[in-house]
Amino acid sequence: MSEDEIAPVARTVTIQDVARLAGVSTATVSRAIALPDRVAEATREAVFSAIRETGYTPNAAARSLRAKATRMVLVLLPGLGNSFFTPVLDALEEVFSSQGYGVLVGYARQSRSRETHYARLIRGGQVDGVLVITGNVPRDEEFVAVPETVPISLMFSDIPGTDQFSVFDVDNRLASATLVRHLIAEGHRRIAHIFGPEGSTESEERLLGYRDAHAEAGLQVDDALVWRGAGNFDFVSGDRAAAFYLSAAERPTAVFAAADEIALGFMRGLKNHGVSVPDDVSVVGFDDTEYAEHYDPALTTMRQPRTELGRLAAADLLRRMMAKGETLPRTHLRLPCELIIRESVRRL
């Protein structure tokens, strides 16, 4: 209560201070913390009480320098604009922080200087592991040498032609085929596809699945119904794609959008022109983000197990980071997707 009980001005307290107060050497303090049973009972008590009294917290930089490990992982995303990533990041943070790791986020796309920044972070030993989400490993010259330094894993998207990364994804092709097969089973014959971002593996795979389902059913794909150039996995792209529908020579009865957000934007765009879903046209998306379920109409889509994939990828990376020195063989984990049927498809 009295004036002198106010906390003293925060001067950085080091292991030296604790050692002095406890009347032992710094080595003993360090041991008392890291290997408590290598230290005599009484000494341990003395050290811990000195720690409490001083409010000592080990300096992370000093520790990292010696241990050559930072207990930090870097998660590289193409951007957070899309709600697709939030459960993934949630899961990652949960697993990593529970093991005492910090999660650094970065958006690698677009800016060259950004890429360099993150490449440096990795090469400077600032992180113990890296998770690259959706295929955007900086193809920086500097970066190429990296996988030897720290483990790097890929999520949701493989990089064709390399096998140096562990991969955690789904079979986009198969899942898309299943989705389109569902439309066909509901009686649709004229099905359009809103293609995702150009240059992404997922986009290509989803298109292949779309074709597969057509081929299986003996249906011809009308190339005029593969709508490219919409842009990203976002609303705006979907909204823009509505124009393709409206101006189609012969309108499709169903549309497979490469992502939920595209599907939602598309439906909204249609609505502005008086076209109703699913009465006039059926729509399916991909991902099963939170909004798919709550939109009106609720969206039929293909669920990607985002949280689970996040947990598993994190656990795997953790294992690799622990295995300092030897390189474990790469993991390629593919989890199944699930068809979620809601209200946006009408049986013909």
Partner DNA sequence: CGAATTCTTGTAATCGATTACATCTACTGT
Partner DNA sequence: ACAGTAGATGTAATCGATTACAAGAATTCG
Residues that bind DNA (CB under 7 A): 12, 14-16, 23-28, 30-31, 33-34, 37-40, 42-43, 56, 58-59, 62-63, 65-68
| Burial class (CB within 10 angstroms; exposed 0-12, middle 13-18, buried 19+) of 228 | middle
Our finding on whether 290 is near its own copies (CB under 8 A) is: yes
Q: If contact means CB under 5 to 8 A according to the sort of partner, which of DNA, its own copies, none does residue 34 touch? A: DNA
Report the alpha-carbon distance of residue 63 to residue 69 in Å, rounded.
Answer: 8
Whole-number minimum distance, CB 327 to DNA, in Å? 19
Binding-site partner at residue 43 among DNA, its own copies, none, CB < 5 to 8 Å by type: DNA
Residue 148 touches which of its own copies, DNA, none (Cβ within 5-8 Å per kind)? its own copies
- Nearest in space to 131 (alpha carbons), one of 161, 99, 91: 91
Does the protein bind its own copies through residue 103 (CB under 8 A)?
A: yes
From the list 59-67, 130-138, 204-212, 223-231, the region that binds its own copies by CB under 8 A is 59-67
Member of 19, 28, 106, 299 binding its own copies (CB under 8 A): 106
d(CA 85, CA 16): 44
Residue from the set 27, 34, 40, 62 that interacts with its own copies by CB under 8 A: 62
- Quick one: what does residue 106 bind among its own copies, DNA, none, with the CB cut-off 5 to 8 Å set by partner type? its own copies
Which positions from 5 to 44 touch its own copies by CB under 8 A, shown as an x/- string? --x-xx-x--------------------------------
Lookup: tokens for 29 = 């303090």
Map the footprint of its own copies across residues 213-272, applying CB under 8 A: 235, 239, 264-265, 267-268, 271
Which residues make up the interface to its own copies (CB under 8 A)? 7, 9-10, 12, 55, 57-62, 64-65, 68, 70, 72, 79-83, 86-87, 89-90, 93-94, 97-98, 100, 102-107, 113-114, 117-118, 120-121, 123-126, 142, 144-145, 148-149, 235, 239, 264-265, 267-268, 271, 290-291, 294-296
